[in-house]
Each structure stands twice: as C-alpha cells, then as structure tokens.
C-alpha cells in the first residue's frame, strides 16, 4: 500500500499541482490509515485489494473513539476516497471501496464576518507614517477588496498587480488562476506602500523576495503567521466576533457583496470556488442577519 501512496503523492504534486501543504495533509491521512490497517492485521504491508467498505468503516469508528471531530474524520475519509478513486483510474482496483461509506454529517457553522463600520475602523489601525504600517494597511485592504486566501496573498508578486486595469491575478488552489477587480481603497493603499517597500529591503532580501508584494521585517517574503497575527490582532480591536483570522475578511468580502445585491455566481468566481454550493453558505449568513434585524425591529416579531 505504501508504494501506491507514494504514486498518489506524485500525482497530486505533478498532475494536480496541489500545494505542498495539501499534499502533506493527504499523505499524512493515508499513512495514518495504512498504520491502522497494519496494526489491525498484524502485517507490515497490507494488500490493497483486501480493503473493503467494512475495513474503512472500522477505521472511522476507531477515529471516533480517539475523540476526533466529525470534521476531521470527514476530511480523512475524503482523502481515502480520493486515493482509491486514483487507483481505480489506474486499473489497479475495479471498484472504490470508500464510495459506499457515508460521510459523517457535519454541523454547518455559519462563517464569521465583520460589519462595514468595523471594517472601516480596522483600516485606520495601521500607522501610515511607517513602511510597515503602510504594508499592514495594504494587506488589510487587499484581503477585504479581493477576498483572496492567506496563501494567495503571501505568494502574490508585484507583476501580478495591474494598476491600469485595476485587477489582480491570483494563483489559487490547484494552480488555478483568476483575475479579480482591485477596489479603489486597496489600489491607493498598495500604491502608497509600494513607494516605501524598498525601505524594507535588507542584505537577506533575495531575488525572489524582491518580486514579492509583501515583505516581512527582515526584507524577506512575508510568511503566513505574520499575516495571521496582523489580521487577528486587528479584528480583536474592532469586533467581538469569535473567529479571528484572515479568512474572516474573505467571509466579510463575500457577505458584503451579497448584501448589496451581487450575483451568487459572480461571487463564486471571485472567491475561486469550484462548486456553487460552497458559495451558497454566504446566502445563509445574509438570511440569518436579516432575521435578526426583523426580530429586533418588527413590533410583532
């Protein structure tokens, strides 16, 4: 089984062009499954054609006993299902044994988002008299203006911003690209920051770092944790929402667009979602917000 996991890992890296983080997550889930099978059977190498739906259900029960959340179990099942689907396409197996295994029913939590007043307050937090302050404001404005993911922002290069067309080219999941509009506030914040960006260069700044839009304090391409700390700290200062991460600004971007009448399919394209059902959760956010407004304002609610 381990040799097939290695083939699958190469498939995800080369053919599907998945990020290193995603590939590692899939591989880790499959190796954990292989370890369970080895312990259960007492064999070091499990024969792939001896795995059936009962084996997989037994593994899911084992994960439940370990105290894993339904969300984590569902993710691990998705990795197993995708792995066996890959083996079927290679004619190594005739049937995918995971197809008939039901995914645990998840509680669908509505995403956290900020109101427009909180967003406006947030944009005033960074100090515009310093290069890092200008950078931080540009990061916040860009996340809210485009709805891009944290990884997409970290890997953004200067050449992918078209100021004349007011667009940004984003490299999304699976190597897919999309072009999104650049709002006026985000454009102004980026222009102000890029004029001062050279002040962040140091002897550690590489050729690749010089391509990066956002630089950390030592002149190197900014890293995800730095952005996460910036955004979570800013959210904490302007809002009481429970979730505090860069993804909240992505949720806020989508929610505000739909609140103001944007077409759901257009929002799907802007977010880079593969499925419309993924985007539809934001319609639930809008409906729940309207219900609260109704309950608070209507005399007979």
Residue 275: what pLDDT? 84
Residues 78 and 151 occupy one common structural domain: no
- Total of domains in the chain: 2
- Catalytic annotation present for 289: no
Range of the domain at 17: 2-89
Residue 106 lies in a domain: no
Q: Assess whether 223 carries a catalytic annotation.
A: no
Residues 45 and 158 in one domain: no
- 212 forms beta bridges with 157
Do 41 and 182 share a domain, yes or no? Answer: no
Does residue 200 sit in the same domain as residue 142? Answer: yes
SS3 299: coil
Block means of pLDDT (10 residues each) for the chain, length 301 residues? 91 85 91 88 76 92 89 91 94 92 76 92 96 98 96 95 96 87 96 96 95 94 95 95 92 92 91 86 72 71 56
Residue 253 resides in a domain: yes
228 is annotated as an active-site residue: no
Global pTM value: 0.70
Q: How many CB atoms lie within 10 A of CB 228?
A: 15
* Residue 169: strand, helix, or coil: strand
- Could you tell me if 21 and 130 lie in one domain? no
Same domain, 251 and 190: yes
Let me know if 26 is a catalytic residue. Answer: no
Look up 218 and say whether it is catalytic. no
In the set 16, 173, 178, 210, the catalytic residue is 173
Candidate list 4, 26, 144, 282, residue with the active-site label: 282
* Domain-located, residue 103: no
Active site residue 273: yes
| CA dihedral sign, ordered 37, 40, 44, 50 | negative
**Given the residues 250, 251, 256, 268, the one annotated as active site:** 250
Instruction: Say if residue 156 is in the same domain as residue 283.
Output: yes
Specify whether 292 is located in the same domain as 238.
yes
SS3 category, 170: strand
Judge if 191 and 122 occupy the same domain.
Answer: yes
Whether 122 and 85 map to the same domain: the answer is: no
Question: What CATH number should be reported for the domain holding residue 26?
Answer: 1.10.150
pLDDT of residue 132: 96
């Amino acid at each position: 089984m381990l040799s097939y996991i290695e083939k699958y890992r190469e498939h995800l890296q080369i053919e599907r062009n998945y990020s290193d983080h995603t590939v590692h997550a899939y591989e880790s889930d499959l190796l954990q499954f292989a370890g369970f099978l080895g312990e259960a059977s007492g064999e070091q190498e499990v024969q792939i054609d001896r795995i059936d739906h009962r084996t997989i259900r037994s593994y899911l029960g084992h994960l439940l006993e370990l105290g894993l959340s339904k969300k984590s179990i569902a993710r691990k099942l998705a990795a197993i299902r995708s792995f066996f689907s890959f083996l079927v396409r290679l004619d190594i197996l005739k049937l995918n044994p995971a197809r008939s295994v039901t995914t645990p029913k998840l509680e669908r939590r509505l995403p956290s988002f900020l109101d427009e007043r909180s967003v406006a307050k947030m944009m005033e937090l960074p100090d515009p008299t310093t290069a890092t302050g200008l950078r931080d404001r540009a990061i916040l404005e860009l996340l809210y203006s485009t709805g891009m993911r944290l990884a997409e922002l970290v890997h953004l290069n200067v050449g992918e911003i078209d100021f004349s067309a007011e667009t940004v080219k984003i490299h999304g999941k699976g190597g897919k690209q999309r072009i999104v509009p650049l709002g006026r506030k985000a454009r102004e914040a980026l222009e102000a920051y890029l004029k001062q960006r050279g002040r962040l260069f140091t002897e550690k700044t590489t050729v690749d770092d010089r391509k990066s839009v956002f630089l950390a304090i030592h002149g190197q391409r900014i890293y995800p944790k730095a952005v996460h700390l910036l955004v979570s700290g800013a959210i904490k200062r302007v809002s009481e929402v429970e979730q505090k991460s860069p993804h909240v600004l992505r949720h806020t971007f989508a929610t505000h667009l739909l609140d103001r009448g944007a077409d759901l399919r257009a929002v799907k394209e802007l977010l880079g979602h593969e499925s419309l059902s993924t985007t539809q959760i934001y319609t639930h956010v809008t409906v729940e917000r309207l219900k609260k407004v109704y309950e608070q304002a209507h005399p007979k609610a």
